[in-house]
Structure 1
Amino acid sequence: MELWLKARRRNVRTPGGGSPDPLGIDGVEALRAGLRRLYELAGRPPVREMEERAGTGRLPHSTAHRIVGGRTVPRDIHQMTGFLTACSVAAAEHPLWIDAWRRALGQDTPSPPAPRTAAGAMGLVGPVVRGGIEAAAAGAGYGPTGSVTPGRPVQVPPGASAGLRFALLGPVRAWYGGRQLSLGSPQQRAVAAALLLREGRTAAAGELIDAVWGEQPPPQALAALRTYVSRLRGELRREAGHALLVSESGGYAIRGLGEGALDLVQAQDLGAKAEKARGTGDLARARALLGEALDLWDGEPLAGVPGPYAQTQRVRLEEWRLGLLESRLDMDLEQGCHAEAVSELTALTAAHPLRERLRELLMLALYRSGRQAEALAVYADTRRLLAEELGVDPRSGLRELQQRILRADPALHESAATRPAEHVEVRVRPAQLPVCVADFTGRTEVTARLVGLLSAAGRTDVPVAALWGTGGVGKSALAVRVGQAVRRFFPDGQLYVDLRQEDAAGALGAALRALGVAGRDVPDGLAERSALYRSVLDGRRVLVVADHARDAAQVRWLLPASAGCGVLVTSRRRMLDLAGARLVELDAMSPREALALFTRIVGERRVAAEREAARYVVAACGFLPLAVRAAACRLAARPAWTVAMLAGRLADESGRLAELEAGDLAVRPVFERCYTALEGEQARAFRVLSASADPFLSVPAAAGLLGCGPQRAEDALEDLVDAGLLIPVGPAHYQVHVLARLFALSLPAP
């Protein structure tokens, strides 16, 4: 169905000629016609699909329906860019359409951009076709080389006079000694932004191409990327006096920035300090720190930067800004500044009408200001809006506040300024997810599936995703990556529990302490700890990552009961008995993904010279990520070795497992842990089946090898699948992984 929809959008033929030209739009009617034409060229996608494509909260499906019907136009830039994204308009074209939207509504716009070439309309880039780049740059307010357009004011951030400074919380800019630097065209700025957002971690060339151009890069994308990197490297070296943009293992990174050189890092540090100050009860300092952090924003983050990566980061950074703003306003009310907060909250709820937390704060501020009727009117308006736009009722916290206002609950008038200091609540926001693997490769499809499952938190019951697969397949690395990707859906924190190191009681105790419960208040009993854990999580939106789970019984104690939380479990076993869990299998990598991971660690130059040998190496590793990583790390640590030399060492099957060790990266211990957990008959079945010349086994073939009936053979095969030693490959068929077979052959004969 997805392929059919794509074909329909590409081959659609509608009356009225080609793509509409945003430069010719001079009024609201022309804008409506242009947006309708974009919708038709996109294949008339369903409005709910448009809502998903646009990103969370940017384009409600009811609004999309009114826009494509010609009854309205987007109300702000976020909604406009959401509509363009939903209609598959190239990111390089967005600035031109935003200017057209401003002209149609009579807002101030930059000077008219230069005419687009055919190449620019297609979004092509490269040394020859640069019209699209220059037109997009002009539409964003920059000249063709990225210099600031004359007549437009340049705002220098605080402290910019001291050394090199970068800004991402607004237009992407750089300063040195108070002088603004040229970062080039929008695509070049997108490369700079992608590298800066990684905060020193290496980005592969393929990742940067995907970040700037998405799934359909132009043929000369790699050459264009190298050109952009070369220009940025020269500009930064000229100012800093040394190389800040470095090449490493086929990728690039910006390193060696001074303290406070990036506004995003400054905002993160200030936010962390504010959270710590609030935890100690120092609300005045926490408010001041949050005010400093919010002052670093200069409009829309990454403004004018094209590409899907920038779009995703814009949504994340805007969500984070609103979270900081909500925290600061919450502290305003805690300190009795409700009258001053009313006007700000009124404006914010108008700009973000579906954000219930802002509406709750506005109701409380109005009530404390003696405006009870207006507070209740806010609730009525919220209930009507949610019913019309989403077909849902307000969340329980908002309904409870309405009832307390109706009862004139005297506790609503209490704030930190009127409560004794010993009653100030300490609310801790854990952020326990480990660091993502820097050279994580592939897994796009399963990542998208897990993100989709967990992002439904709050709209359904607590989503539980159970990721399972054989040892060494990369479950933990994927879980951490997914957890980092969905952090914005869980603003109250992320818990990480390694169940290989802790039993359920120990894991609950650690989680309670991380959530702010004093150690002396943690009960001893497992049931009591679980009950307190659910109570602490009630009303919060927290992600729980339970890594290396042994079985479902171990996980059940860690499941929250509050909607809005989410759980991601990794295990070698299929959690068939974990109620409500969505099982997601993680298989070995595809040959292409495995070769890409090997290349990222070893380096493009060494692999390109011996590509066939590299293919043999990853095949000898069975495309298992742990094995591929161990082999690649051994080779990377030995510059004198060739890839062919490593391939020759792996060709000896009797010593292959010994070769796949690099520090604490080792394949044999993974299979040993799986094997020692087997019972006697299961262990014998594994050795017998692994000794078969055919690695692919049907149930009848397994029955013949084991000397038993088909049903008993199928039970034995399924037990080995649950133990992580067999891989199901279809109905009644199973595979013994090549490395598991080698491990079994090293065991005593059955």
Structure 2
Amino acid sequence: MRSGVAVRVLGALEVGSSAAAAVLSPTLRTVLAALVVDAGRVVPASVLAERVWEDAGMRPATSTLHSSVSRLRRLLEPGAGPWQVLLTRAPGYQLALAPESLDVARFEQLLRRALAAAGSDPAGARGDVAEALRLWRGPAYADVEAEFARQEARRLENLRLEGVELAARLDLVLGRHHEVVPDLQELVLAHPLREELRAALVLALYRCGRQADALQAFEDGRRLLAEELGIDPGPQLRRLHEAVLRQDPALEAPAAPGSTAGAEPAPATGAEPALATGAEPAPATGPAAGPAVGSEPGPAGAGTARPAVVPDALPLATTPLLGRSEDLERLLDVLERERLVTLTGTGGVGKTRLAVAAALAAADRFPDGTVFVPLAVLDDAAAVLPAVVRALGLPAAEGPHALAAVVAQLGAGRALLVLDNCEHLLDAAVDIAALVRRCPQVVVLATSRAPLRVSGEVEHRVAPLRVPAGTGVEDVLGAPAVQLFAERARAVAPGFVVDERNAAVVADICRALGGIPLAIELAAPRIRVLGPAELLSRLDQALTSGPRDLPARQRTMRATLDWSYGLLDEPTRRLYRRLSVFTGGWTLPVLEDVEGPGVLEQLEALVETSLVTVGFPDGEPRYAMLVPTQQHARRLLGDDELEEVSRAHAEAHVRLLERAAPQYRGPGQVDWLQRTELEHANVLAAFEWAMAAGEHATAARLTWAAWLFWWLRGHVLVGRRCAQAVVDASAGSPLEGPSALVPVRARIALGAMTFAQGDFPAATGSWARALADAERAVGVDPVEREEARANCIAGIGICAQVGGDLAGAAEAHQRAIELARDLPQDTYGPWIVRLNRVWLGTVHLRAGDADAARRQVESGLALARRDGDRLATFLALYNLAQVEAGTDPARALRHLQEGIELSEQMGDLANLAYFLEALVVLRASGAGGGEDAAALVRLLGAASAARETVGFEVHNYYLSDGVGRDAAERRLCDELGEQRYAQELAAGRRAPVAESVRTAGLVRPVTAAGPSPAS
């Protein structure tokens, strides 16, 4: 067996030296742990796979296991072999480590040796057990969440407690009762049902001359056993109690070793506490139990080198902490540097669980112990420090005396103070800050839905668990929220598995629950009676009840959120309710447009209390509510308030879109398209409200302001649905008065959406009807009438183009230019002029007149560049590329590459598909080598993916070259071979848009005449 590789599992799993431990992924940690539990023995591959993946509801291929083992092997032994640590041994794998290289093996070896030597060499045995306990850094397998590891951790915790009890017994044999009393007090508090530890404490107190305290320690244990288990103390503890009452001489301390020559140590019999190896331990609290665990007591008479911190037992976690390994690592790093850390986050997000996990994992950094102080039941900030006093086991103290008592107890000791649930006691923040200042080595870790807002505080936000971004099984299974859901579902339905059949629905459930652990834990057990699809449809019901042993405020999501809501003042409560009308988030300017100025203070309070989240998707703050929080806020809205705020929300988004619409045609296109994309869910919510409320004019204004955004971003289906709904609702409206053109514009938008879908008869009909209505309308603004007419005629022109009526198309485009030429700059006029010049060029190109086509397109391009209009620019570039493909292919290539970059900037995937395919057709005849051909095939794959994402051609007025594409595909397939062609095509379909754009930019210019232009 090789000993050069160190593996440690008594704490977080580590490989390598503690100073330079290797970082393992969660999967590799689990694989290594599954081998460690049978270290030295062969673990069959089937058993290994079951341990690693079955608990997560996964059934991996054999290759997945082999791949994981291979990666682990290279990590354990960098190099190419021969392998000496992780060996392949039929029918599986063997981990070959010497005991000194595996902490758990060394621990068990030392504990066995200590047990064997306890009667003959108590000093040597005490040294062995101390060395064994020093190997513990925290709960065994602390960061491995699989069931097999939890079972092994429970076994090892039993052994650790046996070691602690053996250490106590040996200390008493060695006459160290004075030194061990403080440590035994801490251990008994941490493990109140372990009778061996209590017996050791009773005996130590008696030997220190504290008979009354010894009897009280027995009485505390007797009462606890009766209340918790309904039983009396065991015979050993009862006999010890009787011996203390009669002051039995057999209880006297033995002489310290070496005090009398040749003296034999006292035998480990009679009243001495024996080591019970078969008893079930009380719930363990890990290293937080105190410094006696794993530390050698100092010599007698050395005095007190540290304060006696008596901690409350940390809450026992009955389920594993899933999906928080990165959070835990970051928090531990913060605790290493900072002294006042507040975990903040929405109710039910798991702040307490993370705080307890961090306290356990960091216990070795706090030799003077950990104190856990639950504050949820308090209702007065002045009671916080007295609660800390009680947690320390000190006599009751109030007011300034409480701070003095805590400072006197903690002093300069290195201790961790965990203050749980501070959000309703924020006025105590000043006292907490004072405690931190006066105890220079104490670290305070607080949990709260809002920060304390005192000097020196570091806020550590606890976010919901990550939910799946997509619906693929791999992506779904990799999301921590899904892993938690599956774990909790299997607790009530052992056969439940997340697989191809239900992955998408489970992902939807976790997204609807916002990744909030409490919400997931409330919903998942309903799998015992509901399938995933039905559970998704009944989520509100699923969140109405939870485990009876949780605090009342955590038994339902509503109770959890009611708790937070109750801490707000009335203006903040009002804003909280009204924010529920937003969908997909909001910005402060939009919120102020809905609610009026002066809401920043209330918004900040909601962010601080974690009822509102804040992100920076475009570099600016954007606020949102998690889905369960939004649903809670919506339920609090009365009908009148809902109507009022919904109207304000819709009108604000109409105003926002009307400001944005002109920007889509100028240099601000990219920014405003992105901004509208972020608001799109709100836009649709506003539209739905307007239609349901009968506010058809509002819906029509919104549709007219949004249609070009829908076109450019490929939201054609939703655009057509909205436009058609407005047109239908406006049927029969009189065409007179200032608003007569509102339904006309809805028809223009409908024409654009149907044209983008390739429904040319519907598009022609919509534009023709809109033109007739615009011309018949009376009492309207003349400029608005001409703008509407020019729009309609331009649309009729492009429909004529794709229908082959080139003369009709040319006439329509020329007429649109004439109508739009004199329109003001802030109307659609200049945009219509430059677009129709480009489209006139397309007509000439279709007719075979390349020179006339170039003149018109270059004229439109010049206007587009002058006004910073990327849309008209890339329309012109596409046409110029086609004009010049046969005469100047290098220049044509540059046009296409520029158009591709502009398409990415605009987020116009439909346009990107045309350009990528045109580039491939242009270059395929001179591909010149396998790598160049492979790059072109990847671009074909990217074009196909872009088109499928949008679902429609959209830019149907482009003159595409299907024949040229087919020829290019055949040529590239012949050059690469069918297998590699298919591989590169698939790679292109998967590639991010930015990578495809970069690939297109690297395509080399054509040096010889390329293919003929598409015309």
What's the TM-score, normalizing by structure 2? 0.38
Distance 1:699 1:613, change over 3 A: same
* Pick aligned residue for 2:586 from 697, 702, 715: 697
2:146 alignment counterpart? 205
Counterpart CA distance in 1 for 2:393 and 2:605 is 41
AA at the equivalent of 2:326: E
AA at the equivalent of 2:313: Q
1:718 aligns with 2:633: no
Distance 1:263 1:117, change over 3 A: farther
1:432 aligns with 2:313: yes
1:184 alignment counterpart? none
Distance 1:451 1:259, change over 3 A: closer
1:616 aligns with 2:616: no
* Pick aligned residue for 2:614 from 728, 739, 749: 728
Counterpart CA distance in 2 for 1:685 and 1:140 is 60
Task: Give CA deviations for 1:16-38 in whole Å, capped at 9, x if unaligned.
Answer: xxxxxx99xxxxxxxxxxx9xx9
* Pick aligned residue for 1:448 from 317, 320, 329: 329
Where does 1:526-675 land on structure 2 (aligned, <5 Å)? Answer: 526-550=399-423, 552-558=426-432, 559-560=435-436, 561-575=438-452, 577-591=453-467, 592-603=479-490, 605-609=495-499, 610-635=502-527, 638=528, 640-650=529-539, 655=541, 657-658=543-544, 664=550, 665-675=555-565
* Paired residues of 1:598 and 1:629 also in contact (CA < 8 A): yes
Counterpart CA distance in 1 for 2:514 and 2:209 is 56
Distance 1:279 1:656, change over 3 A: same
Larger radius of gyration: 2
Counterpart CA distance in 2 for 1:630 and 1:463 is 34
Counterpart CA distance in 2 for 1:126 and 1:539 is 53
Counterpart CA distance in 2 for 1:579 and 1:539 is 21
AA at the equivalent of 2:519: A
* Pick aligned residue for 1:472 from 335, 348, 355: 348
1:308 alignment counterpart? none
SS in structure 2 at match of 1:570 = strand
Counterpart CA distance in 1 for 2:330 and 2:166 is 31
RCO comparison, higher one (Cα < 8 Å, 6+): 1
Distance 1:504 1:717, change over 3 A: closer
1:27 alignment counterpart? none
Distance 1:324 1:687, change over 3 A: same
AA at the equivalent of 1:495: V
Deviates more, 1:730-739 or 1:507-516: 507-516
Structure having the higher helix fraction is 2
SS in structure 2 at match of 1:557 = helix
Counterpart CA distance in 2 for 1:194 and 1:430 is 18
1:157 alignment counterpart? 115
SS in structure 1 at match of 2:321 = coil
Where does 1:298-313 land on structure 2 (aligned, <5 Å)? Answer: none
SS in structure 1 at match of 2:600 = helix
Task: Give CA deviations for 1:243-292 in whole Å, capped at 9, x if unaligned.
Answer: xxxxxxxx745779998796435347755346676667728999989999
Unaligned runs of 5+ in 2: 37-76, 120-127, 170-183, 188-196, 211-250, 258-264, 269-285, 468-478, 642-1015
Distance 1:581 1:505, change over 3 A: same
* Paired residues of 2:421 and 2:448 also in contact (CA < 8 A): yes
Counterpart CA distance in 2 for 1:277 and 1:120 is 57
Distance 1:262 1:594, change over 3 A: same
AA at the equivalent of 1:602: A
Where does 1:45-64 land on structure 2 (aligned, <5 Å)? Answer: none
How far 1:607 sits from its partner (Å)? 2.4
Task: Give CA deviations for 1:478-506 in whole Å, capped at 9, x if unaligned.
Answer: 11111122222222232222222223443
* Paired residues of 1:195 and 1:253 also in contact (CA < 8 A): no
Task: Give CA deviations for 1:512-532 in whole Å, capped at 9, x if unaligned.
Answer: 24434334xx3x4x1232123
**Count of residues paired in the alignment:** 455
Where does 1:494-505 land on structure 2 (aligned, <5 Å)? Answer: 494-502=370-378, 503-505=380-382
Counterpart CA distance in 2 for 1:614 and 1:484 is 32
* Paired residues of 2:415 and 2:443 also in contact (CA < 8 A): yes
SS in structure 1 at match of 2:458 = strand
Deviates more, 1:79-88 or 1:624-633: 79-88
AA at the equivalent of 1:666: T
* Paired residues of 2:164 and 2:293 also in contact (CA < 8 A): no
AA at the equivalent of 2:146: A
1:133 aligns with 2:95: yes
Counterpart CA distance in 2 for 1:281 and 1:722 is 54
Counterpart CA distance in 1 for 2:22 and 2:118 is 38
Task: Give CA deviations for 1:75-102 in whole Å, capped at 9, x if unaligned.
Answer: xxx99945774899x999xx9xxxxxxx
Counterpart CA distance in 1 for 2:365 and 2:256 is 21
2:163 alignment counterpart? 264
Counterpart CA distance in 2 for 1:587 and 1:580 is 22
Distance 1:533 1:659, change over 3 A: closer
Identity %: 22
Distance 1:141 1:286, change over 3 A: farther
Task: Give CA deviations for 1:158-206 in whole Å, capped at 9, x if unaligned.
Answer: 4999xxxxxx96999xxxxxxxxxxxxxxxxx9xx999947xx997438
* Paired residues of 1:657 and 1:743 also in contact (CA < 8 A): no
Where does 1:178-193 land on structure 2 (aligned, <5 Å)? Answer: none
AA at the equivalent of 1:471: G
Where does 1:62-461 land on structure 2 (aligned, <5 Å)? Answer: 81-82=17-18, 85=21, 121=83, 124=86, 127=89, 133-134=95-96, 136-137=97-98, 155=113, 157-158=115-116, 197=140, 204-205=145-146, 208=149, 252=151, 263-264=162-163, 266-267=165-166, 271=184, 272=187, 273=197, 282=208, 324-325=295-296, 327-329=297-299, 331-333=300-302, 427=308, 429-456=310-337
How far 1:748 sits from its partner (Å)? 3.3
Where does 1:16-27 land on structure 2 (aligned, <5 Å)? Answer: none
Counterpart CA distance in 2 for 1:675 and 1:738 is 16
Distance 1:433 1:739, change over 3 A: same
Distance 1:258 1:568, change over 3 A: closer
* Paired residues of 1:430 and 1:492 also in contact (CA < 8 A): no
Distance 1:533 1:606, change over 3 A: same
* Paired residues of 1:202 and 1:253 also in contact (CA < 8 A): no
Unaligned runs of 5+ in 1: 1-21, 24-34, 39-52, 56-77, 96-114, 162-167, 173-189, 209-250, 296-314, 335-356, 361-396, 398-425, 457-461
SS in structure 2 at match of 1:687 = helix
CA RMSD, aligned part only?
5.5
* Paired residues of 2:308 and 2:368 also in contact (CA < 8 A): no
